[in-house]
Structure 1
Amino acid sequence: MTPLHVAIAGAGPAGLAMALYLKRAGHRVSLLERFLQAAPVGSGLILQPTGLTVLQDLGLFSRIAALGQRIDRLYGADALSGKTVLDVRYDAIAGGRYGIAVHRAALFGVLLEAAQQEGIEVETGQDIGNLEHTGAQACLTAADGRRIGGFDLVIDASGARSPLRRHALHSCEPRPLPYGAFWVSLRAQPGLSFGHNSLVQRYRRASTMIGVLPIGRPTPQDEPMVAFFWSTRPDRVESLKQAGLSAWKDGVHALWPECAPYLAQIDGFEQMTLARYGHHTLPLPYGERLAIIGDAAHSTSPQLGQGANMALLDARALSHALQQSETLEQALPRYAASRRRHVRTFQAMSAMFTPFYQSDSVWLPWVRDQLAARLSVVPPAPQLLARMVAGTLVDPFTSIGLREHDWHAAPQPSALG
């Protein structure tokens, strides 16, 4: 394909990865960010074997591994009885897979540094509001009325609240989910281990979920950190705040006393980020001179931990489609087709499983507590759960021209423990 001038709306992980792929393929890239300073949003996440394979393809695996924390297990128990509710181990399947938990600032920093090394500049303060077409090019309109462009292709990586998604051939908006979560990054406490290489959670029915995830360091100079999260309904946040921080801490402590050293680091609700979630999947994540990737194309609850990983896969898939096509008219449907099966499978599973862990239901968590631990030890359930968490229940690699990373040959920096 003739080199294109491409605008990317959004300088998060999806936009930065996309910019790297396009620049290395010889395209001209304009990376637009609505904030005055590009920065990560949120606390921590797990990079699954899918996302890590994309980072390896970009030559960034060692950099992110040096900052993150290796994760081998996801474990959850009932807060009152201590009964195991969730126990997923990556080693249930052959191949040596694992996840790496990172602070969002670490992932953002690694990708931004790589982009800057490639000569890619982030144009900040570009609050994109609309997309227009003038002849054979696409133009963007800023919120203040300025026109930006034209461009041969616009890539929407602006997240779940995308203003450009409505220009897809078949668009839809996210359906708000009833539960969100407070997230905060805290200093890891020496001698306090919830499972060094594990995400550990406690549940009270499906209305309360508390989690501790070791996430390594935001930068090499920082101390190790953990992500602490607590699920809640966004429409109950004001009543929580009115009751006071001490009352909230007392409630968490009653369910999980071992969290006391982390609760002591929280001085106010404003210290935490309230994440609100929605669910949608674009049937066709593209339009005229427009491709849509990441949360703008498909958003959901983080219950399966796939969000950032799906976005990285999207970036690789779109890059591969452009490389394999002679025209945009060929490339955009090829991109959509290459991601369709994987995206729809995991979006469906997320929609199915989330109510068991985040909802007001009484009987769904009862079923979960009665069956989950028993089924999780009976083959092939351990293998299926491991593939589900790893993101490989459906092969995401072949259709986008990628081979899964060789985990046995992967570098093992000391930061991974």
Structure 2
Amino acid sequence: MGHFMEPLRIAIIGCGPAGLAAALLLARQRHAAHIFDRFVSPGPVGSGLMIQPSGMAVLAALGLAEEVVRRGARVDALQGIEEHGRCVLDAPYAALGVAGAFGLGIHRASLFDVLFEAAARQPGVSIHADHAVTGSTCDAQGRRLLFEGRAPSAPFDLVIDASGWRTGFDPAPKNVLPFGALWASLPLQPGDPFAGNLLEQRYRRAGQMAGVLPIGSRAGGAGPEVAFFWSLKAEDHTAWLATPLDEWKGEVLRLWPDLEGLLARIETREQLTFARYAHRTHPAPVGERIIAIGDAWHSASPQLGQGANMALLDAWSLSRGLAEGRTLAEKLRLAAGWRSDHVWLYQWVTKLFTPLYQSDSRVLPGVRDRVLAPLSRRWPAKGIQAQLMSGLFGFPLAPLGLALPDYESLSASLTSFAASGEPQS
């Protein structure tokens, strides 16, 4: 049972999935949610992402699952093939044993739009653009935000740091990973040699990886797209910038010849964005009148596709903590406590698995291909692999009062959208 508490005045730093979901949830609890973003026009950064069943559970509870599904692309499995054509990763969602379960590939802009539009409609949410937060101070009246080139804010009862892994509220080294990735969102055309319902990857040992993820259709776009990505070490990015584009494409095609048509749609280097990743966990996500959620609390490589999903779970846990606790300190402790085991688990699993797919090791890819791949096709490893991929390993939903969405209903909606030819907006 929840405890009554006067509505709070809450500042949220960052207008990404974590910040928007938190604002939407907290405003529905009658709190005043003020989002501060450093961009003049807040928007998404990046290309595609995966919404896993763990994140879809939150979107369903928000009443946004159908709209997100309408804009995304159904993904039934993750498939990885090494350079000689042997399948070394086959992870179907069917192995979860949940009727109709699937992942959803979606452009970051589409997820942003759904959350932003819902937040903009929600009474109690205010969005303040062009506010670069540089820090905060706390006194008896509350916590005030400090801005670049602006006067400090009025005091807030609570500050939520949803500013991402580059957060300025954690002074510890960010532990930026050596491997990043080049990303591009490219149009999908009839006859393209991609399954359409798979996240497909190709590996040359662990030093090179290419991937294609269907990501649905953006509002105002010309049609369905895929996210293409190519792993690249940060120290090699400067050399890549000096390499003729066709020479780089040749390198990619030697790993995955079927990408020829897709790569032909990359006409300029500007179509590709280099993304960096960090593996870090804030040692103190809860402080006096402040809490970190999403990547500001914990960030990792994208190998397990959990970033946005963990952020959505954090936002939900925070809203539940504010409803259940008696004092503000207890509310924040509950919010972080319900998530801490799941966060710890995925941080360690990601740390263990990432070198199998992105590293300079010559030994680990052999372990992946000759030991782990055969094991993953057998019970119980196949089900555990599906649990890990779906974000459900460690049973994160029950402590938060969440349940898996009705995937059969979502599948029917997805089928009806496709059959109607309804333009996606």
User: Normalised by the shorter chain, which TM-score bucket?
Assistant: over 0.9
Rounded to whole Å, the distance in 1 between the matches of 2:258 and 2:39 is 38
TM-score normalised by structure 1 residue count: 0.96
Per-residue CA distance 1:180-202 (angstroms, 9 max, x = gap) = 00011000021113212100000
Correspondence 1:16 to 2:20: yes
Measure how far apart 1:13 and its partner are: 0.7
1:137 aligned onto 2:142: yes
For the residues of structure 1 that align with 2:220 and 2:342, how far apart are their CA atoms?
A: 34
User: Aligned match of 1:86 in 89, 102, 105?
Assistant: 89
Cα deviation code 1:59-110 (max 9, x no counterpart): 100100111111111001012x101111100101211221111000000000
Cα distance between partner residues in 2 of 1:198 and 1:149: 49
Q: Decide whether the 8 Å contact of 1:179 with 1:234 is kept in 2.
A: yes
The range that moved more, 136-145 or 352-361, is: 136-145
Matched letter for residue 318 of structure 2 = L
Distance in structure 1 (CA, Å) of the matches to 2:242 and 2:196: 36
Q: Deviations over 1:224-247 (max 9, x none)?
A: 000000000011011112122111
In structure 2, distance between residues paired with 1:219 and 1:357:
33
The one of 33, 44, 50 equivalent to 1:46 is 50
Give the C-alpha shift of residue 135 in structure 1.
1.5
Matched, 1:362 2:362: yes
With over 3 angstroms needed to count, the CA separation of the structure-2 counterparts of 1:391 and 1:226, relative to structure 1, is: same
Alpha-carbon shift at residue 267 of structure 1 (Å): 1.9
Tell me which moved more, 95-104 or 9-18: 95-104
Query: Is the contact made by 1:186 and 1:265 (CA closer than 8 Å) also made in structure 2?
Result: yes
Who is 2:291 aligned against? Answer: 291
Once the two structures are aligned, what percentage of the paired residues are identical?
43
Distance 1:173 1:136, change over 3 A: farther
Structure 1 runs of 4+ aligned residues shifted over 4 Å read: none
How is 1:5-404 mapped onto 2 (pairs within 5 angstroms)? Answer: 5-79=9-83, 81-96=84-99, 97-119=101-123, 120-144=125-149, 146-166=151-171, 172-219=172-219, 222-404=222-404
Measured in 2, the distance between the counterparts of 1:87 and 1:256 equals 18
d(CA) in 2 for partners of 1:239, 1:35: 30
State the shift of 1:220 in Å: 6.3
Provide the secondary structure at the position in 2 that maps to 1:373: helix
Contact 1:253–1:260 (CA under 8 A) maintained in structure 2 = yes
User: C-alpha deviations, 1:338-372, integer Å up to 9, x for none?
Assistant: 00111111110000000010001111111111123
Q: Give the TM-score, by structure 2 length.
A: 0.94
What SS does the corresponding residue of 1:19 show, helix, strand or coil? helix
Q: Distance in 2 between matches of 1:142 and 1:296?
A: 18
CA 339–7 in structure 1, closer or farther in 2 if over 3 Å, else same: same
Deviation at 1:325, TM superposition (A): 1.1
Q: Distance in 1 between matches of 2:173 and 2:155?
A: 26
1:327 Cα offset (Å): 1.4
Is contact 1:104-1:218 (8 Å) kept?
Answer: no
Distance 1:298 1:201 in 2: 25
The alpha-carbon deviation at position 145 of structure 1 amounts to 5.0
Partner Cα distance (1:281, 1:164) in 2:
12
Q: 1:285: Cα distance to partner?
A: 1.3
Contact 1:321/1:400, CA 8 A, preserved across alignment: no
SS in 1 for 2:326: coil
CA shift, 1:373, in A, is: 2.6
Shift of 1:140: 0.5
CA–CA separation in structure 1 for the residues paired with 2:129 and 2:222: 26
- Give 2:423's aligned residue: none
Using the TM superposition, name which of 154-163 and 132-141 deviates more: 132-141
SS in 2 for 1:121: strand
Q: Kindly provide the amino acid, as one letter, of the partner of residue 101 in structure 1.
A: G
Cα offsets for 1:351-407 (capped at 9, x unmatched): 000001000111111111112331121111110100000011111112222222232
SS at match of 1:186: strand
1:3 alignment partner, SS class: coil
Native 8 Å contact 2:56 2:404 kept in 1: no
Unaligned segments of structure 1, at least 5 residues: 167-171
Cα distance in 2 for partners of 1:53, 1:10 equals 22
Choose 5-14 or 145-154, whichever is displaced more: 145-154
- Give the stretch that moved more between structures: 287-296 or 369-378: 369-378
CA drift at 1:298: 0.2
